[in-house]
Amino acid sequence: MRLTRPVYESLPYLYMAIGGLAILLFYVDPLVSRAVVAFVIGVIVETAALTLVLRRQDYRALSREYSGETIDLPSTLHG
């Protein structure tokens, strides 16, 4: 499944919002056991969002650094 670029670029921010809402639910009613589950889910989703943001940032930095040219090495396999 391919997503359009605006949808793809907004996914980490959507994950951050979902994680923030889950953590907020824990602070609103911390005594219920489902609030603890919401907090754990919120932390996991926030970690996933941060991972996505950092990996995309690293990929963009590397693609700017390298032009994509290949190195043609002499091959001894073809004789």
Domains held by the chain: number: 1
Distance of CA 31 to the CA centre of its chain: 31
Taking the C-alpha atoms of residue 74 and residue 63, their distance in angstroms, rounded to an integer, is 26
Residue 18 lies in a domain: no
| Pairwise pLDDT comparison (78 vs 2), residue with the higher score | 2
Instruction: To the nearest 10°, report the CA torsion of 23, 3, 60, 45.
Output: 10
Range of the domain at 30: 23-61
Give 75's pLDDT tier (boundaries 50, 70, 90). Answer: low
Residue 14's pLDDT band, with cuts at 50, 70 and 90, is very high
What local confidence, expressed as pLDDT, does residue 24 receive?
93
Distance CA 41, CA 20 (A): 10
Residue 47 lies in a domain: yes
> Residue 45: what pLDDT?
95
- The per-residue pLDDT for range 15-74, each reduced to its tens digit, is 999 999 999 989 998 888 888 999 999 999 999 999 999 998 888 888 887 766 666 666
Predicted local confidence at residue 73, as pLDDT: 65
Q: Does 17 reside within a domain?
A: no
- The DSSP 8-state label assigned to residue 36 in this structure reads H
